[in-house]
Structure 1
Amino acid sequence: MKKPILVLLSTLIVSSIALSACEGLDEQQEAHTEKKPVTLTVRNPKVEIANEFEQMAKQYEEAHPGVRIKVETVGGASDDYSDITAKLTAGKGPDIFTNIGNEAMKEWIRYLEDLSDEPWVDDASPHTLDGITLDGKVYGAPMSIEGFGVVYNRDLFKEAGITEPPKTFSELEAAARRLSSKGITPFANGYYEDWKLGHHLTSVAFAEEGPVFVKALNEKGTHFADSEEFNRLFSLIDLTVRYGNTAPATTDYYTEVDLFKEGKAAMILQGNWVEPLLGDAPTGIFPLPLNDRGDAKMIAGVPSYWVINKQSSELKKKEAKRFLRWMVSSEKGQEYMTERFRFIPAFKNVPVSDLGSLGKETYSLISENRTFNWSSFSPCIKKEFGEIMKAYINKESTRQQALKGFDEAWNEGACAAPSP
């Protein structure tokens, strides 16, 4: 089987430049001239912006008579990977969907349209296309830049007498004890979904270990049990479970966010993407510390890429490319990207505006070079990691058994590509 490869990209620094008044040039030149109406199916993986994405699609339809956008929003607690696999295998996949890049790109390459000639390629911020480029060809547009850490309620921290966000694991543990002593639940834990455990949290440990550890794993020169950072990751899980809500392994993403939003817990392990769900909650975000060095960095980078289904008709692929261009280059598309979706843009031509409190803090950490990048490995390994960690949380296995399970999942390798 193909060996998994972990890619730790160089730190992204997003630069913002003034937007020139050229919104409509491409749109004017590419007015829809097809006589035949076309319906594009767009798979939106962000449940946080489901309504806003629908509204954006309607705006696009109004500006492009003859084009209908059918939005399918997935994610959260749903098994997005299995669903999209089944649809693509059956030849019924959406016209636009997302791919997380790197190994996932290689596994799905037969379904990805070459987008190398699209004008937004030159506007992409440094390194944001690295994960979706193969043999010099670009197969997707970066959706955004996201950061993962500890989202916290400022008012509850203040109520407990915590004046600064924790910078070390010991400080995080002390903060949890202090919150608990004041009758405040420290953590809302939603560990039902595999993606949070198997990708988001493991990315922190992989980033702390660095590429030397990954190389040794691939050469079978080390084991996960030998890793201080992966052992500390399990200590972090222990901490959150000890000071968190009951039944964390059956608590899903939506419930976790609701507990936090309603002020029933002071912290969640999440990222700036939850901003649209939090309303007016007084929030902040800080890097997740696994150790006591005091130099914790936030995990940040491109979470996924918009890709076009190579199986779609030529007409649909043409219109899909135009839709992606509109999102990146038009004034209205850019407004939705930043002000409505609260995305940190991955394009130099998109001005950074109202990102929200979490977005602003994440953007600041990225600008200050205080970030690691998302790790990238096969979706099947992530899923297996998530299931192993969930069993540990349920006390169905020990830490050593879980880490041994990581070894087995890693050595098994990447997913088999879906059959055409």
Structure 2
Amino acid sequence: MKELTKGLFLAVIILSIFGCSNNEEESTSSNQVKDTNEVTLKVYNFKVEMAEQLEKLVKEYEVDHPGINVVIDTCGGGCDYSAELKTKFSSGDKPDIFFVAGYSDLDLWIEHLEDLSDQPWVEDVVDIAKEPMTKDGKLYGMPLNIEGWGYIYNKDLFAEAGISKLPKTISELKGVSEKLQSSGVTPFVNGYGEWWILGNHLLNMAFAQQDNPEDYIEAVKLNKEKFSDNKAFKEWVDLLDLTIKYGQPNPLQTDYITQVTSFASGQVAMIQQGNWVQLQLLKLNPDLEYGYLPMPINDDKEKMDRLPIGVPNNWVIYKNSKVKDEAKDFLNWMVTSDIGKRYLVEEFKFIPAFKNIPIDKTKLGPLGTDLIEYIHNNKTVPWLWQKYPGYEVNTSQMGAVIQAYIGDQITKEEMFEQFQLIWDELSEQEEVVQK
């Protein structure tokens, strides 16, 4: 009886420790320790929108792999993944599997990463998805999926406003916005309270529409180009101004969740978002009809009718993990097993970055289906912010500057000046590190 009482007491303590979250707004976790003899594999997830599906996938894996306990810790609800990941490493709570974006982010984390070049899934990765995580001929990450973004529009509201021709240029987008507003519909709900919607995604359009985007980025780094002198950046402000003019009041007070739920309600016509919102839209309003529009900055229809397509993040393994072999097995199972492949397409609604995973467009939802069409028609522009000096430090600072412009705290000219100061400082820091 004494031993039984001790065991029950210990069980209660364990449940109380691992059953509680430190901050429900910032992190959700499946920290359930099942057996002290099991191998525990810690995964730090940055995509809150796939947290529920990932938990289900893990349960399937654990059934097939007795003795492996996969603990998912999801950074969500306003959590800054990059900052929290750095905190985990500095505190000694290093995850076995986590995410790295590639390019500049790869350079930041490469000393901690396991070389995955010899893994069986590597030969099936589509070529474009290898580039962000390849360094000196070695591949350090497994691509999560292929994503894209643009303006998601409500088909019913467009039809009710008498809009039969979808806008491909900024003049056409303005005309559509006027029609929607005249019909009593708010054209845009802007989630400009989120720096990444501005600094990563919206601002990317100015870089992506350069004649040679990568050359332009290098020229700005070397102080050979100025934002204030660039035609595409001036045109980009026209698009930003248009969304503010035809958007909801107080866009700086609107966050990601509010933006998506407002659109799902069927009361607003357009939001700037990516296919990562597919699961939320299906859950919130499965009957809603919607699709993608481009984000034009001028009236060149051929160049403007494109969507930014790329790899959002990559699964990586901590090279000094004591369970890195188990981590490799988990990643391999996810993209080679029938269960894993089904989850990626049907449950996660991902466009796979692997040639061995067939794409059934009927399983992806309308956003993934539209993206596939843009990809097949070669109507894409690149994701570029991962190549900026300082990566997320850069884009978060530029996002804050854009927010100041939206809030009428600075002028357009002052916004460009502040962009330049950010790039000059971070480019100099990058040069010092490289030396």
Do both share a fold (TM > 0.5)? Answer: yes
Return the alpha-carbon distance in structure 1 between the equivalents of residues 45 and 216 of structure 2. Answer: 34
TM-score by length of structure 2 reads 0.85
Match of 1:357 among 363, 366, 369: 366
Counterparts of 1:100 and 1:327, CA distance in 2: 19
Match of 1:282 in 2: 289
Letter in 2 for 1:359: G
Quick check: 1:275–1:358 contact (8 Å CA) kept in 2?
A: yes
Question: Aligned-pair distance for 1:407?
Answer: 0.8
- Check if 1:300 corresponds to 2:303: no
Gap runs ≥5 in structure 2: 1-35
Q: Distance in 2 between matches of 1:325 and 1:197?
A: 35
Residue 370 of structure 1 corresponds to which residue in structure 2?
Answer: 379
Deviations 1:359-407 (A, max 9, x none): 0110110111100121122121111111111111111111111111111
Q: Which residue of 1 aligns with 2:39?
A: 38
What is the deviation of 1:290?
1.1
Cα distance in 1 for residues equivalent to 2:357 and 2:187 = 37
Q: Give CA deviations for 1:275-307 in whole Å, capped at 9, x if unaligned.
A: 111122211002211111012211001111111
Within the alignment, does 1:203 sit opposite 2:181 as a pair? no
Compute the displacement of 1:36 (Å): 4.4
1:152 aligns with 2:145: no
Give RMSD over aligned pairs: 1.7
Of 351, 362, 382, 1:344 maps to 351
Tell me the secondary structure at the aligned position of residue 268 of structure 2: coil
Which structure carries more helix by proportion? 2
Query: What is residue 188 of structure 2 aligned with on the other side?
Result: 187
Match of 1:321 in 2: 328
User: Of 383, 396, 402, which residue of structure 1 is paired with 2:396?
Assistant: 383
1:212 aligns with 2:219: no
> 5+ unaligned residues in a row in structure 1: which ranges?
1-34
Q: What is residue 23 of structure 1 aligned with on the other side?
A: none
Larger Rg: 2
- Of 168-177 and 215-224, the range deviating more from structure 2: 215-224
Tell me if 1:72 matches 2:79.
no
Provide the rounded CA distance (Å) in 1 between the counterparts of 2:76 and 2:206.
24
Identity among equivalent pairs (%): 42
1:410: which partner in 2?
A: 423
1:100-148 superposed Cα distances (whole Å, 9 cap, x missing partner):
1001100111121111111111110122110100011111000000011
CA shift digits 1:35-89 (9 cap, x unpaired): 9411112122222222111111111111111111111222463222211111112
| Cα gap change, 1:232 to 1:78, in 2 (>3 Å) | farther
Corresponding residue for residue 172 of structure 2: 171
- Contact 1:91/1:311, CA 8 A, preserved across alignment: no
Q: Distance in 1 between matches of 2:242 and 2:76?
A: 27
In 2, are the aligned partners of 1:77 and 1:252 still within 8 Å (CA)? no
**Tell me, what secondary structure is at the counterpart of 1:401?**
helix
Partner SS for 2:79: coil
8 Å CA contact retained: 1:166, 1:175 = yes
Q: Which amino acid aligns with 1:269?
A: Q
More RCO (CA 8 Å, sep 6+): 1
